Structure formats: C-alpha cells, structure tokens
Amino acid sequence: MHPVVRRVLHGGGFWPALPAVAFLVVFLVLPMLTLLAFGFVTIERGRIVGDTFTLQHLHSALGDQLIWRLAWRSFYVAVISTVLALVLAYPVAYLFSQTSGIWRTLILIAVISPLLTSALVRTYAWLVILGGRRGLLNQTLLQLGLIDQPLRLLNTDWAVIIGMTQIHLPFMILPLLAVLSGRDRRLEEAARNLGAGRVRTFFTVVVPMSVPAIFAGLALVFAVSYTNFIVPQLLGGGSYSTLAVQVYEQTVVVLDWTRGAVLATILLTSCFVFVYLIVAGGSRLSRWSEIRT
Amino acid sequence: MTNGSGPGPAPSTHWVDAVGAAVFALVAGFALLLLVAPSLIVIAVSFEPRAYISFPPSGFSLKWYWAVFENRQLTDSVQVSLMVALWVSLLCMALGVPAAFASIRGTFPAKAGLNAFLLAPQMMPGMVIGIATLFFGAYIAFRASNTMLVLALSVFCLPFVIRITMARLADLDPRLDEASANLGAGKLETFVRVTLPQLGPALLAAGAFTFIEAFDNVTVALFTSDVRGRPLPVELYYLVQNDSTPAIAAVSAIEIGLSCLVMLVLGRTVGLERLGGPATKT
C-alpha cells in the first residue's frame, strides 16, 4: 500500500487536517482580516483608496449616540430573551430526564424539529401570530373578550424578544438535556433519604450539577440573540433597529462598507466580551458550588 | 426560598414541593407548546383560500401550493438552493471528515490548538462570515456569486461535520481495529469494513445537517449570493418583508414537511438522542 494512504488510515499525523486548515485560512482568516482592515482605511467601490491607516471611522462610530442606543437595545433584548429561554428550557430538559418511552421521543421531536426548519420560516410564523389586526393572538384575545381593541404586538421590543426566545429555545434545551439525562441520581436519593423535599433537592442537588450546561446554553443563546438581525427586522418593523440590523443595513442597503466593517467589528468584539464574561461567571459559579457541596 | 421548615428532615409532601412540581410541569408544557405551535399554525394557514393570511383559515384550498409551483422565481431559487446545499455538503464532508480523524486519532504537538482552530467558525455569527467573505471577494475582485456563497457556507458549516464525526470517532473502540489487524486485515480493509460502518450513521447525520443548514441559511446568503439566481431563503426573505400572501406559508409548510421527513429518517438510522448534542449550532 502507498505509504501516504497508510498514514491517512492509521491516523497519527496532522496532515489529514491540512486541507481543512488551508481552507479556513483562505476563506475565514483572510476574510476576517479584510473585514477588520476595511474599518481602518477609506474605501470607494470596494477598493481601498490611498492606503493610510485611520482611526477616524472607529472614532466617529463610537462617538455616535445612535450606535450606543442600538447597542444597548441589542444587549437588553438578548439578555431578556436568553433568561426567558433558560426559564422555559430547564423544565423541559428536567421533564425529559424524568420520563421514558413515547414521551421522551415526543419531547425530542419537539426540540429538534425546529432546528431542521429554517429560522426564516419560524420568524414568519411569528408574523402570522403577532401580525396586525388579523393576527392570531389579537383575534383570540378579542374573541375571548379579554381586550376590545387589537393590541399593538408587532413592531415592539416584546415581539422581537418573544420571537428570538422561541427560535433559540432548542439551543438552550439541548445542552441541559444531555447533562440532566446523564446525571447520577444517587445523590438525589441520598438527599431525599436525608429528609430534603423535592424542591429543596432540586435546587441544592440537581441545579448545581448542571451549572456548566446552564452557562454553556446562556453563552450560546446570548451570542445568537445579540447578533440576530433577521428577527428584529421582520418582527420589529421598518423603523426598529439594533446594532446587528445596522451592520446589515450599512453593508447591503446604504452600501457604506467602511461603516459596515466598523460596526461589524464592534458587534463581534462586544459579543466576544459578553460571552467571555458569561463563561467566566459560569466556571466561577461551578467551582463555588463544588466547594460548597 | 426552598426551605420553609428550617434545617432537619422536612416532610416529603410539603406544599412547596407540590406547588413546585405543578409550576414545573406547567412551564414545561407551555415551552413544548411554544416549540411546535408556530409550525403547526403556518401549516394551517397555508390552506387559506383567500388572498391574505388568517387563523383559523376560512376554508381549505391547495391553491397557494399551485401558486408556488407555478412561480418561476421560486422554483428557480429552489434549484439554486439545492445545488448550493449539495456543493456545501460535499465540500464540508471532504474537508471535515479527515480533519476529524486527525484531531481524534492524531498524535502531534499543538493538537488542542488545531481543534480550537477547526471549530473556530462556530464562534462567528453567519452575518460576520457573510460580510467578511463579501469584502474579501471585493478586495480580490471577485463578485458576490453562488460560488462565493458555497465557500462562505462551507466555512459556516464545517464545524458541524467535524463535531459530529469527532464525537462518533471518540466513541469507537480502537480495539476493534486492532482485532481486525490481528486477524490479518490490511489497513484499508480495516477502514472499509470496521471503521467506516461504525462511522456511517454519524456521517449521514453530518451530511444531512449540513445540507439542511446550507439549504435554509439566510444570514450568510444575504451577503454573498448572486443577485440573479438567488437561493430560496434570500428570495423568501424579500418576499416576507414586502408581502404576506399565504404562498409564503405554503413554501414554509413544504419546508417543514421535508424537515420532518429528514428527522424521521435520521431518527431511524442515527437515533434522535445522538443527533441533538453535536448539532447545537446556529
């Protein structure tokens, strides 16, 4: 056998990964460097004009009140939606770990099927539910006599938050599901035998065990919510904007690539900082709960 | 908050426990409803006979499905998306599976660094990958086109394939390979007859997930796809922004139906539980 074929099959070497590494260098690293660079030079029609490095674009973006307002909105919308997702996800994952048979399968289908459906379709579903006078929710509330005027549901922060929470919910459920169904139940039995109630056992035994999974889910859902521009655009309406929406509009609609590059860099950097803080907080907390137990 | 009765043994049927369990079951039920209801509503709305969406639909009609099949722009975009998804899956499998081998079975310095690098794209939002590829393309005088879309989506989807393959590879018992070698099989024979069959379902899952993601993706596609010959998600995106005809619901219903079919097949071959873990990526 050819020695090269043998090395591939035997494993051991670095080089089976070489094509993937080369591919990522050319189509991820170089594009990211270009993106970064475009924020610090002046561009006209996709070409760099007079290659002088300037901080002027970054400076003007950071000095813009509007950008700060939009970044703040991106942040609080993502935070609220992430916390809501955790509150909804935990009981589902816990229920999954406590049941068996057909219920387990049904829960899995409910959690995984949205992942296989496009985010656009799911956002569209929320347009149908929340949209205007004929929206499903308004119609139902009117028929039940709970309201007598249609509520303004679409084009609000809450429409965006609800949509995002639902769309990102599986990302929160899946890590929890894995940890909770694989957990060691003898600890809970011990706690129960020592006289702790179910709620107390849950908060002092089950939750501390799942701290790493909780924070993995929080970091993931925060990141995808913070950088989502489809949901704010469709459920927030034409005049609603966030930092991510602004990146899209500057790049595709206004065609101000310098601004787009600067804002994308700000978006990505701030996202990394927040995710780092969440992960760091998580490992702190899990160390703390280990010491305590 | 959980301990109303102070330290020491508490009665196991305390009211706190009953209320806690009820609240928990209620929230879980609500969350599960929230997960599936929007898809069901979209399917129901797609049968609307009138020209605007309402729920429940005012009747039953398949006319919006016919409208979709007769809409050249939509059917063309489906073709574009199928081609894009096919190329992305092929490229990702060709790059990702060997890479996963290196990062699980390999023994060389800086392996952790390699793994981090290979999985780095999953830290990047689709939009950022899309814009970065667009800018890089412009810089080297390469226009937005569906070739560019395939390349950008492959970057986006590569961690999928690598993670799913790595997870399965790490589970394999290397002693099976040794046994095969001891019984006189060559390396190639061992790979084809021992390793590959065990890897098969994982590769199928990886390919299917990549295909679906590449077919559905809008965050990367909005920046890199061709202006003529748009893929389906981009076409739908502009449609949804300007219009609310039930035709969109019909397209969505078809997509939902197809993804259910894929899930059925994957559930049979791979097992749903195994699918969940490595697939967590936007």
Same domain, yes or no: A4 and A102: no
Test B190 with A229 for CB contact under 8 angstroms: no
Full residue range of the structural domain in which residue A29 is found: 1-36
Using a CB-CB cut-off of 8 Å, the residues of chain B touching A108 are 272-273, 276
Percent of chain B with pLDDT over 90: 28
What CATH number does residue A228 fall under? Answer: 1.10.3720.10
Q: In this predicted model, what pLDDT tens digit does every residue of A143-195 receive, in sequence order?
A: 787 777 777 778 888 989 999 999 999 999 998 988 888 888 888 888 888 88
| Closest-CA residue to A226 (of A195, A268, A169) | A268
pLDDT given at position B1 = 41
Measured between beta carbons, the chain A residues lying within 8 angstroms of B160 are none
Does residue A223 share a domain with residue A170?
yes
Mean pLDDT of A272-276: 94
Which is higher by pLDDT, B81 or B2?
B81
Buried b (16+ CB within 10 A) or exposed e, A29-62: bbbbebbbbbbbbebeeeeeeeeeeeeebbeebe
Give the span between the Cα atoms of B266 and B205, in whole angstroms.
7
* pLDDT tier, B242 (very low <50, low <70, confident <90, very high otherwise): confident
pLDDT of residue B229: 85
* Architecture (CATH level 2) of domain B71-279: Orthogonal Bundle (1.10)
User: In this complex, do A166 and B95 lie within 8 Å of one another by their Cβ atoms?
Assistant: no
**DSSP E strand boundaries for chain A:** 42-44, 47-49
A240–chain B Cβ distance below 8 A for any pair: no
Q: Which residue has 């260098």 as its token pair? A: A25
A172 close contact with B: CB closer than 8 A? no
CB within 8 Å: A111 and B262:
no
Contact B36 A124 (CB under 8 A): no
**Residues A6 and A108 reside in one and the same domain:** no
Residues A102 and A210 in one domain: yes
Contacts with B34 from chain A: Cβ below 8 Å = 88, 166, 169
Q: Give A213→chain B minimum CA distance, Å.
A: 12
Q: Are residues A73 and A152 in the same domain?
A: yes
The answer to whether the Cβ–Cβ distance between A10 and B34 falls below 8 Å is: no
Interface A–B counts its CB contacts (< 8 A) at 316
pLDDT at A151: 76
- A78 in the same domain as A27: no
Residue A206 domain-assigned?
Answer: yes
C-alpha to C-alpha distance for A159 and A129, rounded to whole angstroms: 10
Q: Which of A28, A49, A172, A246 to mutate to test the interface with B (most CBs of B within 10 A)?
A: A28
Residue A8, both tokens: 């591939």
Q: For residue A187, what pLDDT is reported?
A: 84
Contact A89 B31 (CB under 8 A): yes
ipTM above 0.90, yes or no: no
Strand partners, A49: A42
Q: CB distance from A291 to chain B under 8 Å?
A: no
What mean pLDDT comes out for the span A218-232? 94
A14 lies in the same domain as A91: no
Mean predicted lDDT score pLDDT of chain B: 83
Helix (H) or strand (E) holding B60: none
| Predicted local distance difference test score (pLDDT) of residue A268 | 95
Please report the residues numbered 66 through 85 in chain A whose beta carbons come closer than 8 angstroms to any beta carbon of chain B. none
Q: Do B17 and A199 touch (CB under 8 A)?
A: yes
pLDDT at B157: 94
- Domain edges within chain B: 71-279
Task: Identify the sign of the CA torsion B181, B187, B188, B191.
Answer: positive
Shared domain check, A106 and A18: no
pLDDT at B107: 78
* 3-state DSSP assignment of residue A177: helix
Shared-domain flag, residues A22 and A150 = no
Residue A243: what pLDDT? 94
Nearest to A39 by CA among A222, A265, A251, A247: A265
Residue to substitute from B17, B74, B280, B281, interface A, most A β-carbons within 10 A: B280
* Chain B: residue whose CA lies nearest to A96: B28
Is the pLDDT at A41 greater than 80, yes or no? Answer: yes
What mean pLDDT do residues A203-224 have? 90
Residue of B nearest to A93 (CA): B28
Q: Is A281 on the interface with B (CB under 8 A)?
A: no
Are the Cβ atoms of B244 and A257 closer than 8 angstroms?
no
A271 CB within 8 Å of a chain B CB: yes
User: What is residue A162's predicted lDDT score, i.e. its pLDDT?
Assistant: 93
B27-67 per-position pLDDT tens digit: 999 999 999 988 888 888 888 888 777 777 778 888 889 88
Helices (H), chain B: 15-45, 63-70, 72-105, 111-118, 126-139, 146-171, 174-182, 187-190, 196-216, 221-224, 232-242, 246-269, 272-276
Of B55, B151, B241, Cβ closest to residue A139: B55
Pair (A31, A84) in one structural domain: no
Could you give the number of structural domains in chain A? 2
Option in B8, B42, B129 nearest A121 (CB): B42
Q: Is the pLDDT of residue B279 over 50?
A: no
pLDDT tens string B126-169: 999 999 999 999 888 777 788 999 999 999 999 989 988 988 88
Q: Are residues A279 and A161 in the same domain?
A: yes
Would you call A110 and B154 a contact, using CB atoms and an 8 Å cutoff?
no
pLDDT above 50: residue B280: no
Q: Work out the minimum CA distance from A4 to partner chain B, whole angstroms.
A: 12
The answer to whether the Cβ–Cβ distance between A118 and B218 falls below 8 Å is yes
Do A9 and A76 reside in the same domain of the chain? no
CB-based contact (8 Å) between A254 and chain B? no
Over the stretch B157-214, which tens digit does the pLDDT of each residue have? Answer: 999 899 889 888 888 877 787 788 788 777 777 777 777 888 888 888 889 889 988 9
For residues B96-119, give the mean pLDDT.
86
Does the distance separating the beta carbons of A115 and B42 come in below 8 Å?
no
Across the interface, of A5, A111, A227, the residue whose CB is closest to B188 is A5
Query: Mean pLDDT throughout A262-280?
Result: 94
Give the pLDDT confidence score for residue B226 in this predicted structure: 83
Q: How many CB atoms lie within 10 A of CB A133?
A: 9
* Residue whose C-alpha is closest to residue B136's, from B122, B110, B155: B155
For position B3, what pLDDT does the model report?
A: 43
Closest residue on chain B to A16 (Cα)? B98
